[in-house]
Structure formats: structure tokens, C-alpha cells
A and B are shown apart, each in its own frame.
Chain A
Amino acid sequence: MAQITDHLRPRDLQKIANLSVLARLVVEGFFSGLHRSPHKGFSVEFRQHRPYVPGDEIRHLDWKVFGKTDRFFIREYEEETNLRATILLDASASMGFRNVAGYSKHHYAVRLAASLAYLLFQQQDAVGLVTFDTKVRRYIPPRARPAHLRVILEELEKNQPAGETELGKVLADLAPSLHRRGLVILISDCFTASAELLRAMSRFRYGKHDVIVFQLWDRAEIEFDYSGWTRFESIERPGEQQFLDPALVRDTYMKNLAQFREELRQGCAREKIDLVPLVTDQPYADALAQYLSLRARRA
């Protein structure tokens, strides 16, 4: 069945400059495609059981406990303290890579971050944003106030990719400053040594954070479908270049790529980090779905 998300592909949305409009479009389009959202009420948290007293709403009865003990208990909820989510946006130059016709990974990352932030705010969660390249550029601590969303979107809008990636070091620096446990959302191409990255990630895990990594790929990077003699010039390190016939190195490249992704996947699995590889022509909704399933597991 056709869904509205089918029409919300990044290609179609790239002309929408206003992030808040875009984020709303993405998130609401996403939800409108779901029937009877199973995720409703995530922001309430179970506190305790108490014995049933007449007048209590029957729908709050815990039937499982009744089944076990033959007594009526009421599930008691408390209004959830806001989830603290921090979006780590990789703004290094490598994120600026774009294939010939499209838009860059950074472009995608910004829109994805905006959509996520919007979604989180919708759910009354606190959202923070960290942009970084070799070091942290901007740190916006998580807040749940609706006005905070505008701050984040403004920051995202003016963000431009530059500098090298030193993901491991930046994350390692960042980990101590996130005191309260929460959700860490990393949006990056992860173009750094996977071991270093995983070590940094493990520190977040150590701080009891949930970590979800959206790893962004351009289709050109995973298919390497170039032909004819080509000079590949490094975006991050000017002067570094490779002059070659892509057809001839493709084989080895693909092997290296597969190995890199596999390392990362295994490492993340070990650390119980959710790794979500995304290709920049995938709908943002895919990322949102991934996020929501993660939240479901946490619940």
C-alpha cells in the first residue's frame, strides 16, 4: 500500500530549506502512515502496583498479576521524566561528499537530525545537539522546552562540513560531559579507525547511555561505479589524491569496504550499539523507524 513516506524521499525534500517545515513534514508524514501507533504513551513510565480499590479504572488492572495471584492490582504510572537524547552530528569535511547529481551526506545528516529532533520534541523528550569535526564545535545541552527545538534547528541550518574526522578522540572527550544517562544518537559516516570509534562508543555505554549510530553512505561510496581514468582527491586532506582506473581497483575497494563495514557491525553488536547504515537516497522515515524500534526495546 502506498504510503505518504514513499513521497517523502530525500530527493523530493531537498528543496525545502526550512528545517522545521521539513522536520514536521517528515515526522507527521511518517506517523500518518502508521495505523494506531503502538508507540503511543512512551513518555509515561511504570512506577508500581497497588491493590485495586473500587472506583479505579478497569483498564488499568494488571491482568497478568491477576492471573498469577488471583488478586486485582492496578498498574500505577508516573508522568515520565523526559528522555535525554543527544544528537552528535559529524560535520567533518568527509560528510561533504556528494555524488555527481545529488546532495551531500552532510545535507542528509542535517535533515535527519532535524527530523529526529522534531520527533523527540513531539514526544516531550529533551534533545541536545553536538556538532563536531576534529573537536566539538557546538554543544547544545538537552532540554525539553519546545523553544529549544528552534535553537537546535538554527544551529543545524548554519552548520557546514569542514575539517578532518577524528571521531574517536571527539567522542572520548565528549563522553564525560554527558552526565545523565540518556540516548546518544551519532550521525556520521564513521570514516575513522573502527577500533578507535568503538572504544569511544564503549565509554558511552559505560555511562549507561543508549547509543544509536546512523552511519551515512553515499551510493557512490558503496557501489564505486566509476569508469575511465579518474583522479580521486581527498576532501579532508587537500593534496592527497589517487590517479587510477576505477574499474581496476573496484574489486579491492569493495573488499575493503565490506571488511570495514563488517568490523563496525561486529564491534557495535559487541557493545550493544545500534548501528543503522543509511544510504543518502533512503527516506528519512527509515531512520525514524529504526529509532522508534530502539525506543520500543528500551520500554
Chain B
Amino acid sequence: MTFLNLALLAGIAAAALPVLIHLLSKSRPKVVAWAAMHLLIPAAQASRRKLRFENLLLLLVRVLIPTLLALALARPVLTGAQAPAGDTPIAMVVLFDNSYSMQAGDSATTREKRAKEAVATILGRLPAGSEASIVLMSDGVRTLGGDARLDFAKLNQQLDALACDGSGTDTARALNVAAALLGKTTLAQRAVVLVSDFQAVNWGDTDAPARAAAWARLAALPVKPSVTWVNVGAAGSDNASLDSVTVSPTRVAAGQPVTIRVAASNAGDAPHPDLHVFLRVDGQERGQTRLSLPAGQSGQAIFTHTFDRPGPHLIEASTDADALAADNTAAYSAEVIDRLPVLLVNGDPGREPLRGETDFLALALRPAPDGGSLFLPRVVDAIGLTPRALAGAKAVVLANVRQLSDAQVELLNAFVRAGGGLIIFPGGRVQASWYNDRLYENGNGLLPATLGHLAGSTQHTARIAAQRFDHPALALFNDPRNGDLTRAEIRQWFTLVVSPAQHGQPEASVLARLENGDPFLVEKSLGRGRVILAATACDADWNSLPLDPSYVVLMRELTASAAIVAPPPRNVPAGAPLTLTLPEAAAGSKVTVIDPAQQEHEVVAEARDGAATAEYRGSGRPGIYTFHTPDESVPFVVTAGREESRLAAIEPSRLDALAQAAGAAVISSGAAYSSLDQARRFGREIWRPVFIAVVALLFAELFLQQWITRKRPA
């Protein structure tokens, strides 16, 4: 037994009133000096027993009236009693699994279709006055069309229109939403119906505690709702999926060949010996290949491609693997850039090959034999650093340059502030005091740090400290396959002194350190460009870096990161904001975003940090979002996990155990719900009979009083 208005139960205290009145009236009796005792005593004795009984009865009735009235007002619900059939309205919350695994099925029907039919059947048979909400469990739990809905036809329409394409289900959160919804209702009958295909992957042990807590919260509601699981899953688990598309290198220029890897996996228990993978770039068929995927295995389809023009490109991979279409495609949005002219300023030219300061660097940046390089390097000496040489360059590398003229310093300053990249490698010829004086300028100049004393010797060498790199230029080295920076020996280096930035000065950050803690790479932004200062030289005089394979990667990444202001990522997980950077002039203009459901949204570009950014935050749904500006169309790919591709259902025995723990009954269709519901409808609201009892007692009190004090003719 529980109460819907528990506070009103306090009214039961009024039951004390009749007793108090009774006691008070007895405590201050009237006194009468009486003569006819011989008539009174036998009368009193004769009626005493009867009187006591009648009196008690009357008192009982009088106590019962306020008690039952308070009880009726508190709206008691008999949780143990079966509700009368059909007439009691129900507050129902349907938890609907809208993940893409629900699309699985055969030509006749799909899990999604069966689930929607089940919900329609259940809602259609709810008693009049019931209310229902549908909570979607996937892609950020939300309620379909508001909280409590009475218009089931409309609710069904909305459900019909719903596409099941979410990735992952959040059962615990959905249950909490259900508990909150049911906590608000005033109906005594409450039900939770969970419609899902019950994939094993969604009912793992990791989130079991959260689920258990959510079930407990549901069960702790004043009126415990009945729980039903509608299992629309099927036995078959055959499913192959394309998991991701990646492109390497990540910074790619037009005309540079790139490798496109399409990761595929077979989550089912049947082999896919002949899986066709198709590649489309910008909507054009660009290749196809075959994969053999044994059951439970993953593989990669590898394509090469050369983008013919710079700008945004969309790479889509698809397969004809199976009926579950949602995971048969994957995509990648690539921003192809133009080649980057780089000016290498050689401060220590050499007469022999590879003895010059920039020789190794020029080699590293040089186009590969197949023509695929991002960079167009050009070497000049210190005097060659002229406005003409600098025209069109995206980055400048100062390699062991002794010092520069004031005009050159001004030139570089303007270059960086306009968005150019500057990389400074010291060396034996560097005049540290001039650098600290003219280039550092107390933190206002180009240098991100001052050059301290020279450290290291042939006996006393250092290595780059192994760490996880956050900077995009070094992030590649987090994967050891791309090279190992820590192998190279640094024999000599400047100790770089990074001072805390003064007010208004740009902050310098240390990208990498040596083992002894000295900074190895320091970067700071200046205007729209950036400056990177290394602690050691870029040739083999001070270190063995050029002899290590990682040198090429490091130099290319450093140069690219200095030269390019990387655009915000275009391949993001679901829910992350989609940000497009536009020229500053575009601030205030409208950008149209088309989401995967082909719905149009409009965002306004805002001025930010000398550029305009258009940000769209509704990327809950995986798929391709396209930003349309007057000049171009930029695709964004919102990726999702592929857990839903593992269609295998929970083992029946485990499902039973889980259902038992949650106090749920498992059915497989909506039709079964009615009969199940009839059999276990508990929670009968009993205020009506209690109220009738109060009225009856009022009459009984009146009658009793009349009867007890009745006057018979003497």
C-alpha cells in the first residue's frame, strides 16, 4: 500500500478529536444531587454493559470517520491488489531502441518495423485517459514529441516517421528519464515498456551498475511501475560493416597521391569471403576492391588516390555486404591544400653535399619521386631573405643564421603576423645575444624563448623525452609506427628559457623536452602566424636527428604545422560541434547546413580571432553534414561507434536473468502485452471505496446516536 498524496495522511491525527472530546466531556461532568436513586441505579446497572458496547461502537465510528477521510484524501493505492480490468488509466513510458541495429532484418520485416508495430498495438489498447511518452534510447536520450502525451495517434505518427539510425543505446539514462517522467504523473497505474533488439553488446557488464541503479530508482517510485521488455531481436547476427575511412598523410596537397584505408569488420558468425568495397570521391566512383573477412575478423581495403584540386573533398566507402545498410557505408572529409612554398634561409652553407645547414631539411621537404609532396622548398642565404624571395612563401626556416638586418627582422615580423610560419634552428654561428635582444624583444618579438647557455658535449648527450604529444605537429609520433623521436642523440643544444608571458603577450608553449627537462621545441602564436624555436640545429653537426627516419616526418610536420593554420576537424564524433572557418569578411553571413536527414539548418558566421567561424551544434546524428556557403560546399563527417553492428542478441538465459533482476516480463510482440498486463496489473487506487465508507459511517453515526439516545414512551 502506498499513497499518492502522502502529506494529507497527516489528517489522520484528527481521529484523536472524538476521543479527546469524549475524555473532556467525562473529565468535567455535571453533578446532580439526586433523590430517585432507587430508580436510577437499576437503570444504570441494566444498561451499563449495553451502554459500554454502544458507546464504544459510537466512538469507533467517530474515530473512523476522520481517519478514513484522511486516508481517502491521501489517495491510497493498494500495490498488492489487482487492478480492475480495463478501466484504470495508465501512465506509460515506452523506452524505444532507435539504434541502427534495429534496421536489421530480412526483406519481409525488420526489427524496427516489429518494434513500431508493437508500440502501436500497446498504445492502441491502453484504457481511456491513459498517458504515454516515448523515450528514445539512442544518440542522446530524448523524449519523442514532449513529455506526457495523450494523443496516441500523433505519437504513433511521430514514431513511424522516426528513423532508427542511432549508434549505441544508453539504457541507464533512458531509465532515469522514465523514472523522472513517472515521478510526475498522477495516475496510479504505471508501466515501463522497453522495446529493443537486446543486443549482447548493449547489455555488457561495464554499465551494469548504472543500469541496476536506474532500475532501483524506478522500483523505488511511490507506485512501482510494471516493467515489460519487448524483444524484437532475431537470432541471426550476420553483419559486416565498414568502420572507418582514413587518409594518410593527413595533410594532403592537390596532385599528391594519398592512401585511403577503409576499415571493415565482420561482426557476425558467418564469413564474408568476397566483400565488395566501393570507393567514391566527391560522388564519383573511384575504385572497388574485394575483401575476405572471416567471421569475427577485421580487415582494410586500401586505395590510392590523387586529388586534382585543392579544397574540401568527400570520400565515401560502401559495401554491398548485407541488409543492415546503416553500417555499410563510411566516409571521410578531407581538406586538400595547395602546395606550400617554403623558404629555407641557410646560415652556414657547405661546400660538400649534406654539409650545408639546410641540406638535410631541403631533402626532407623535397617532393618524392612520384611527385607527391606538400612542399616547394627553396634555399637562400641570409642575404637572400628579401621581400621578393618571401613573396608567396607560406613558411620560413632560419637555419643557423648568425643575425639579420633590421629590415629583414621587420619583414619577418610582418610575414608572421600576416599568417606565415617561422621555424628557427640555432647552430654554431648563431649570435645568441643578438637573438635575445632583437628577436626576443622582452617577449614582444618573434622568439618564443630566449637562448640560454650552450649545453651538452660529445660525452654528455641527451635524447628527446618520450611523452604523449598534444601538438598536432608531433601527434603523429604518438603512434610508434610513424617513427621514434627518442632514438636520436642530441649532442649540443641551447637551453631555452621560457619566461611567463607578460600582460597582453602571446603565451609560449613547450612542445617537447629533452630528457633533462630542457625545452626542445617552443612555440608561440604571433598575430595570425606562429613561430617555432628548436633548441638544436637542423643538420647533423649537433645531433643525429637527420640520420633517423623520423627526421623527415618531424620536419614535414613541423613545417606544415607552422605554415598551415589547421582548419577545425571535419571528421568528428557524434555530438561534437561542427566548425567551419571562413574569411573574416564572411562574418555575419548565413551558412546553410544540411544534415544526414536532408534537413536544412542555418547558422550565422561569427567573427572570432581574425576570422569568421560558422558553428553547428546539432550533430547528434551520425552521417554527412554539408555546410553551404556562397563560395563552396564543405562536407563534415560525423562518425559513430560500430558497436551496434554486433547484432548478436543476449543469450536467452542471460536475458532471463537480467529481466528477473529488473523485475521485467519479456514478451516478443505487442499483442502479448494485453494479456500479460491483465494478469499482473497491480496498484489499485481505493480512495473511492474509502470515501463511500466515510459517507456510510456518517450515516451510521447519525443512526447510532439516534438509536442509543432514543426516547421510548414512558
Instruction: List chain A positions with a Cβ less than 8 A from chain B.
Output: 93-97, 105, 189, 191, 218, 221-222, 226, 228-237, 240, 242-245, 247-258, 260
Contact = CB atoms under 8 A, between A and B. Distances in A.
A252 B42 CA distance: 8
Contacts of B51: 244-245, 248-249
Given A248-B51, A257-B714, A97 B33 contact: yes
Contacts of B26: 229
A243 B40 CA distance: 11
B480 interface: no
A244 B44 contact: yes
A247 B32 contact: no
B39 A232 contact: no
Given A250-B711, A251-B712, A253-B40, A229 B29 contact: yes
Contacts of A233: 31-34
B30 A231 contact: yes
A256 B34 contact: no
A251 B44 contact: no
9 contacts: A228-B30, A230-B31, A230-B32, A231-B31, A235-B33, A249-B47, A250-B709, A252-B43, A256-B39
A249 B43 contact: yes
Nearest to B54: A248
A258 B709 CA distance: 18
Contact of A248 (B36, B39, B709): B709
Given A94-B35, A95-B35, A233-B32, 4 more contacts: A230-B29, A231-B31, A242-B41, A245-B51
Contacts of B37: 232, 234, 236-237, 240, 242
Given A247-B709, A251-B712, A257-B714, A221 B36 contact: yes
B714 A255 contact: yes
A236 B43 CA distance: 18
Give 7 nearest A-B pairs by CB, closest first: A97-B35, A252-B43, A247-B709, A94-B35, A254-B714, A232-B34, A253-B43
Contacts of A244: 44, 48, 51
Given A228-B25, A232-B40, A252 B34 contact: no
A83 B701 CA distance: 63
Contacts of B711: 250-251
Interface string B365-402: 00000000000000000000000000000000000000
B30 A247 contact: no
A271 B529 CA distance: 142
Interface string B1-39: 000000000000000000000000110011111111111
Nearest to A247: B709
A226 B55 contact: no
Given A221-B36, A234-B37, A248-B51, A254 B712 contact: yes
A254 B42 CA distance: 11
A242 B710 contact: no
Contacts of B695: none
B497 interface: no
B597 interface: no
A260 B42 CA distance: 12
A260 B714 CA distance: 12
B54 to A, nearest CB: 7
Contacts of B29: 228-231, 243
Contacts of A221: 35-36, 39
B708 interface: yes
B46 interface: yes
A251 B708 CA distance: 9
B708 A248 contact: yes
Interface of B: 25-26, 29-44, 46-48, 51, 54-55, 708-712, 714
Contacts of B41: 242
A191 B54 CA distance: 31
Contacts of A218: 35
A20 B548 CA distance: 153
Contacts of A248: 47, 51, 54-55, 708-709
Contacts of A254: 712, 714
B33 to A, nearest CB: 5
Instruction: Kindly name the residue among A97, A233, A242, A248 whose own CB sees the greatest number of chain B CB atoms within 10 A.
Output: A248
A245 to B, nearest CB: 7
Contacts of B40: 232, 242, 249, 253
Nearest to B709: A247
Given A248-B51, A254-B714, A260 B30 contact: no
Instruction: Kindly name the residue among B37, B47, B712 whose own CB sees the greatest number of chain A CB atoms within 10 A.
Output: B37
Contact of B39 (A231, A245, A257): A257
A255 B43 CA distance: 8
A270 B210 CA distance: 101
B33 A258 contact: no
Nearest to A94: B35
A91 B46 CA distance: 30
Contacts of B46: 252
B53 to A, nearest CB: 11
A251 B47 contact: yes
A232 B709 contact: no
B119 to A, nearest CB: 66
A233 B41 CA distance: 11
Contacts of A222: 714
Instruction: Kindly name the residue among B43, B46, B47, B709 whose own CB sees the greatest number of chain A CB atoms within 10 A.
Output: B43
B572 to A, nearest CB: 86
B24 to A, nearest CB: 10
A41 B29 CA distance: 57
Nearest to B27: A229
B33 A191 contact: no
A68 B30 CA distance: 72
A242 B44 CA distance: 8
Contacts of B30: 226, 228-231
B194 to A, nearest CB: 64
B49 to A, nearest CB: 12
Contacts of A249: 40, 43-44, 47, 51
A221 B32 CA distance: 12
A86 B244 CA distance: 136
A143 B10 CA distance: 82
A222 B713 CA distance: 12
A257 to B, nearest CB: 5
A257 B39 CA distance: 6
Nearest to B25: A229
B1 to A, nearest CB: 37
Contacts of A97: 33-36
B35 A251 contact: no
B36 A258 contact: no
Given A240-B37, A253-B39, A256-B42, A231 B712 contact: no
Nearest to B29: A229
B377 to A, nearest CB: 116
Contacts of B710: 251
A252 B35 contact: no
A191 B714 contact: no
Contacts of B35: 93-97, 105, 189, 191, 218, 221, 234-236
Nearest to A234: B37
Contacts of B714: 222, 254-255, 257-258
Contacts of A245: 51, 55
Nearest to A238: B33
Given A248-B51, A256-B43, A235 B712 contact: no
A222 B36 CA distance: 10
B44 A235 contact: no
B531 to A, nearest CB: 104
A260 B35 CA distance: 14
Instruction: Kindly name the residue among A235, A236, A249 whose own CB sees the greatest number of chain B CB atoms within 10 A.
Output: A249
A175 B31 CA distance: 39
B527 to A, nearest CB: 101
Contacts of A189: 35-36
Contacts of B55: 245, 248
A231 B32 contact: yes
A258 B44 CA distance: 16
Nearest to B30: A230
